[in-house]
Amino acid sequence: MSTPVRAVIADDEPLLRAQLRSRLARLWPGLAVVHEMENGRDIERVLDAHSPALFFLDIHMPGVNGLEAARAIAGRAHVVFVTAFDQYAVEAFERGAIDYVLKPFDEERLELTCARLRERLSERPPRIEELVETIAARLGAASSEHLRWIKASVGSNVRLIPVEEVLFFQSDEKYTRVVTGESEALIRKPIRELLDELDPARFWQIHRATIVNVDHIAGVRRGLKDQAEVSLKGRDETLLVSRGFTHLFKQM
C-alpha cells in the first residue's frame, strides 16, 4: 500500500472537525488527517511539522480565517475551502474552479471533491492567490477603515456610541462634545483627528470646531455675513457654518 496522503483540517467547531474527519475516513481510506486546527494560525509551523499535501480550511474562523490561512500556505499545499453559507464566496469558487465543500456535508458532493483531489494531487497546487484576495476583500468590506464606534466616558463607565447616532461633534476647549439624539458625552480626541478617521461621505466639517453628521441635517439657512446655519432633525439648536465651509451647501 502506498503512503497515505497527509491532510490538515481547520475549523473552529470541534464537532464539525470530527464530522469531516469521519466522512473522509470513509470516502478516502488513503487519506490521513495528521493534524487539526481551531483557526488558521501557525501555518508555517504546521507545514514544517506535518508536511501536509492538503488543507481543509473553514472560511469563518476566529483569529486567522480560512482565506488568510490560504494566503499563508501560498501554494505549498492544496487547499479545499469549507463553508456553511457564503453566496459570494461560493460563486467565486465556482468561477475560479477552486475546490470547496458546503456544510452540512453532502456525501456525493464530498466524494466528487475527493475524486478530483486525488487526480490533482500529483500536480502543483493551482494558483489561487488572486482569487482569494478578491474574496477576502469582498467579505471584509463590512469592516471599513472608518471609525464606527466612539468610546466616551460617562461617569465611571465607558459608553460605546455607534457613529450613525452622533448628530455632531463640537470642540469645547480641551474636549470634544459628542452629541446624539438622547445624550451628550465628552471625549479627548480632537476634531482634527476625528476628521481623519470618520467616513467623509457622512461626516462634514462645517466649522473649525464642528463636524456634522449629514444624515441628521434637516436644512441649511443663510445667516449673517457669509455664514450659514444648519438645523438638525428633531432638534431646536442650530450649528454655525463658517465662511470657509459654506461651499459644501451650494446648490447640489
Partner 1 sequence: MTSHPYLLEGLTIRRVLAVTAVCAVASGGIVWLFSNTYADLFLSALCVGYTSMLLFTVAGNIRQEAFPREAVQVAAVVLGSCLGTILAGLVKQRTIAQMFSERLAGVLITMGLGVGVGCVVVATLILREKHSRDQARFHRGESERHQLEKSLLEAKLQLMQAQVEPHFLFNTLANVQHLVETDAAEASRMLASLIHYLRAALPQMRESSTRLGREIEMARAFLEIHCIRMGARLGYAIEVPDTLRERAFPPMMLITLVENAVKHGVDPCCESGTITIRAVENEGKLRVSVEDTGEGIRPKKGGGVGLANIRDRLKALYGNSARLVVEEREPHGVVASIEVPAATPA
Interacting residues with partner 1 (CB under 8 A): 12-16, 18-19, 22, 38-39, 60, 62-63, 84-86, 102-105, 142-151, 154, 157-165, 182, 197, 218-219, 223-224, 233-234
Residue 203 in grid coordinates: 461626516
Measured N-to-C along each axis, helices 14-27 and 107-120 cross at an angle, to the nearest 10 degrees, of 70
The distance of closest approach from Cβ of residue 196 to partner 1 in the complex, given in angstroms and rounded to an integer, is 12
Under 8 Å between Cβ of 168 and 179: yes
Least Å distance between CB 20 and partner 1? 9
Contacts of 218-226 with C-beta under 8 Å, sequence gap 24+, read 220/249
Complex with partner 1: residue 129 or 226, whichever CB lies closer: 226
Residue with smaller CB distance to partner 1, 96 or 223: 223
Q: Which is nearer to partner 1, 75 or 85 (CB)?
A: 85
Min CB(161)–partner 1 separation in Å: 8
Closest to partner 1 by CB, 86 vs 99, is 86
Nearer to partner 1, 2 or 104 (CB): 104
| DSSP code, position 198 | S
Closest approach, Cβ 148 to partner 1, in A, equals 6
Which residue's CB is nearer to partner 1, number 180 or number 210? 180
Q: Strand runs (DSSP E) across the chain, as ranges?
A: 5-10, 31-37, 54-58, 78-83, 100-102, 149-154, 157-162, 166-172, 175-180, 184-187, 203-207, 210-213, 217-222, 228-232, 238-241
Helices 66-73, 43-50: crossing angle, 10 deg rounding: 60
Minimum Å gap between C-beta 157 and partner 1 is 5
Q: Identify the bridge partners of residue 81 per DSSP, sorted by sequence position.
A: 57, 100
The minimum distance between CB 108 and partner 1, in angstroms, equals: 14
CA dihedral sign of residues 184, 187, 190, 192: negative
